[in-house]
Amino acid sequence: MSEETVATTQKDSIMPTYARFPITLVKGEGSYVWDDKGTKYLDFTSGIGTCNLGHVPSVVKTAVESQLQELWHCSNLFHIPTQQKLANLLTSHSFGDQVFFCNSGAEANEGAIKLARRYAQKVKGTEAYEVVTFTQSFHGRTLATLSATGQTKIQDGFAPLMPGFRYLPFNDTEALAQLVTANTCAVMLEVVQGEGGVIPAEKEWLKKVEEICKENDILLMIDEIQTGIGRTGKLFGHECYGINPDVMTIAKGLGSGFPIGAIVATEKAAKAFEAGTHGSTFGGNPIVTAAGAATLTELVDSNLIENVTELGEYLSEQLNELKKQFEQIVEIRGIGLMQGIVLSGPAKDALTITRENYQTLLLPAGPNVIRLLPPLTTSKAEIDQVIEVLKIVFSKELT
């Protein structure tokens, strides 16, 4: 069988669940990736906000290589030193007291939903089960998390959805009068809606949500899958708002590309989980927690997170200068190194041109938004490079 036939067979053997870019990536380093033809791309996608330390960071590579020589898997029937190390790091640098490890953001959100229901029923002694989420949210692709997601396009074709979710409009203060019913056990939200269009929460609105949750003893659960691990200029996005959640879910940047997710909770909320109530065969295994511990240690021991604030402000300033020059740019929004360019029309053509003509990788966030998620290790020079590419692209679109 020829190599071309093998490649075609391999391609056809994968379910078509992804609208893939026509690129096969084989190597990465820092802010750059290379395809199988040797073409070098500036990557401002970071694996959708996952490679926060850049591609193949040496500190994580060293930690994983060391763990590969020791133990790969033993299951959670046993104590795992790297898991305990990472849990200690997370609780030392957050509001949380206890951590549950899993394999992805969707699993973390799924576990948080279970925790919220069990907290209401077993700790509080109520029959409450409903989780309130918000329009344009995105919480995952499992049946429970797509049911929690406030976007009908994500839910299309999967009816009947899992019951127990109610959606309110995001950033709508008047709608908060409907936040709590007798069935409500928790509120789940993103402080910046990533997939929904890079939409930051309004500070006063979010403080009001927190106040209502505390008054009614319902769990405030922050989905930090995309905003966590330094992306916003704080270790966790909710810190930008000065709120104190009961539960936080993280994944993506935590493992620098290794599949890991986590639920971080206060001791009060974590009481809902006891031995046998939740679990994961691979969650928190020695390899991924070694990667996570190395990633988090590098972030908290360096000045990288502080640099994100400076770089994020610089990126936002440069994007707003573009907005002054080009009519098709409607709005610039985001926090830190999570920025969105809202266009008056579809973003697809601009994304294609930047990729094919200028070897620059950017992301969509809905049909009309270009999303920039550079690694936290990016430089002003690399930001300038992207801005120059966008100037050319938008100029071409005007002509």
- Reported as a single tens digit per residue, the pLDDT across 240-269 is 999 999 999 999 999 999 999 999 999 999
Helices (H) and strands (E) in the chain, counts: 13, 17
Q: What local confidence, expressed as pLDDT, does residue 105 receive?
A: 98
Instruction: Return left, alpha or beta for 359; rule: phi > 0 is left, psi -120 to 50 is alpha, else beta.
Output: left
Q: What is the pLDDT of residues 197-216, one digit of tens each?
A: 999 999 999 999 999 999 99
Residues 124 and 87 in one domain: yes
Q: Are residues 166 and 312 in the same domain?
A: no
Residue 284 pLDDT grade (very low, low, confident, very high; cuts 50, 70, 90)? very high
Distance, CA of 168 to CA of 201 (rounded, Å) = 13
CA distance 282 to 267: 24
Residue ending a domain, choose from 261, 276, 301: 301
Q: List the one residue out of 123, 111, 110 whose CA is nearest residue 267.
A: 123
Average pLDDT of the residues in 371-375: 98
Q: What percentage of the chain has pLDDT greater than the value 90? A: 95
Question: pLDDT tens digits for 136-189?
Answer: 999 999 999 999 999 999 999 999 999 999 999 999 999 999 999 999 999 999
Residue 5 clears pLDDT 80, i.e. is over it: no
**CATH number of the domain that residue 205 is part of:** 3.40.640.10
Shared domain for 280 and 337, answered yes or no, is no
Cis check for the bond before 16: say yes or no (omega within 30 of 0): no
13 lies in some domain: no
Q: Are residues 90 and 151 in the same domain?
A: yes
Query: Is there a single domain that holds both residue 284 and residue 343?
Result: no
Per the structure, the complete domain to which residue 273 belongs is given by 58-301
Average confidence (pLDDT) over 368-373: 98
35 domain-assigned? no
Say yes or no: 312 and 297 in one domain: no
Q: Quick one: pLDDT at residue 270?
A: 98
Angle at 283 between CA 246 and CA 128, to 5 degrees: 35
State the pLDDT at residue 42.
98
Q: What is the CATH number of the domain that holds 358?
A: 3.90.1150.10
Indicate whether 8 belongs to any domain.
no
Domain's final residue, options 285, 301, 317? 301
- Tell which of 247, 267, 301 closes a domain: 301
Segment 280-293 shows an average pLDDT of 98
List Cα–Cα distances, 259 to 102, 174, 190, 223, 287, in angstroms: 9, 39, 21, 17, 10
Cβ neighbors of 383 (< 8 A, separation 6 or more) are 311, 314, 315, 318, 374
Query: Does 235 map to a domain?
Result: yes
What is the radius of gyration, based on Cα positions, of the chain? Answer: 21
The pair of three-digit structure tokens given for residue 276, joined into one six-digit string: 């046998």
Q: Band of the pLDDT at 338, cuts 50, 70, 90?
A: very high
Q: Which helix (H) or strand (E) holds 55?
A: none
The one-letter code for the residue type at 216 is N
Residues 184 and 318 in one domain: no
Q: What is the pLDDT of residue 12?
A: 81
pTM summary value:
0.95
Indicate the number of domains in the chain.
Answer: 2
Residue-wise pLDDT for 126-142, tens only, equals 999 999 999 999 999 99
Query: Do 165 and 222 share a domain, yes or no?
Result: yes
Residues 326 and 280 in one domain: no
| H or E segment and range at residue 270 | helix 267-270
In tens, the pLDDT along 37-76 reads: 999 999 999 999 999 999 999 999 999 999 999 999 999 9
- 278 within domain boundaries: yes
Does 240 fall in a domain?
yes
Say whether both 99 and 178 belong to one domain. yes
